[in-house]
Structure 1
Amino acid sequence: MNPIQEYFYKICEPERSILLFLRKKILESDMENITETLSFGVPFFKYKKKMLCYFYFSKKHKQYYISFYHGDRLNHPLLISEGRKKFKILLIDADSDLPIKSILNILNDVKMYIK
């Protein structure tokens, strides 16, 4: 098992399935330019080798989230900054439907800021 697979294997259901689904959608959204690495012990997605987003767990909210680079430049109602300088996060609620269209739109918005 590679380190990225190990990361997901350690997560309990239903969060594991949700994050794996999001992972698949993110990678499929631009298969030529989006790559995945393990940085700082978490799955990190890069667009043309530049930071795009990553998954992490919020101890404060007790939920996983997607953190978007250049989030500080985005004005989206689902994103919260909580004092972060360059990133904004989108909390993943395991009990609600995923806002997949919004997530993909946010990814596209972030890609516009990556040179």
Structure 2
Amino acid sequence: MVEQLQKYYLNQEEPNKSCLLALRDIILNQDTNVTETQKWGMPCFCYKKKMFCYLWTDKKTHKPYILMVEGQYLDHPDLEQGDRTRMKILKVDPNTDLPVKKIDDILQKALNLYRHGVITIR
């Protein structure tokens, strides 16, 4: 699994590769209970084995985004729901500095859903 994940990141072209690797580090550093796996060919991050976000790239623009699994519970002006009922995404421009404070804020709000029992962990 680790080898497949490494291959996913290393197969990305710049500047997406650096951007996705930086986002990976930001996500993994949010909490010691956050782990990384791969689902449907994309990096998936879990909190205590419960999926909470993914990293992916938009098919049209090829720009990275963070997909928040329980986005329906998150209220942030930069999260986009589109035609999804449950999930929301945060688009990221790989050609600019990452908005780390904003990303941290959204990720912590998402993790608090699990920590405070809004989303049950079995």
TM (normalized to structure 2)? 0.87
Gaps (5+ residues) in structure 2? Answer: 115-119
Distance in 2, matches of 1:108 and 1:28, equals 11
Greater fraction of residues in strand: 1
* Sequence identity percentage: 41
Residue in 2 aligned with 1:90?
90
Distance in 2, matches of 1:2 and 1:82, equals 33
User: Residue 44 of structure 1: CA displacement?
Assistant: 0.2
User: Residue 95 of structure 1: CA displacement?
Assistant: 2.0
Residue in 2 aligned with 1:25?
26
Q: How many positions carry a matched residue from both structures?
A: 114
Q: Tell me the SS of whatever aligns to 1:51.
A: strand
Gaps (5+ residues) in structure 1? Answer: none
Distance in 1, matches of 2:57 and 2:77, equals 20
Equivalent residue letter for 1:97: D
User: Residue 69 of structure 1: CA displacement?
Assistant: 1.4
Residue in 2 aligned with 1:45?
45
Residue in 2 aligned with 1:60?
60
**Per-residue Cα deviation, 1:34-58 (whole angstroms, up to 9, x for no partner):** 0000111100000011111001111
Give structure 1 regions of 4+ aligned residues with deviation exceeding 4 angstroms.
none
- After superposition, the CA RMSD in angstroms is 1.3
Residue in 2 aligned with 1:99?
99
Distance in 2, matches of 1:60 and 1:82, equals 15
Q: Tell me the SS of whatever aligns to 1:2.
A: helix
Q: Structure 1 residues 59-68 or 103-112, which shifts more?
A: 59-68
User: Residue 12 of structure 1: CA displacement?
Assistant: 0.3
Residue in 1 aligned with 2:34?
34
Residue in 2 aligned with 1:8?
9
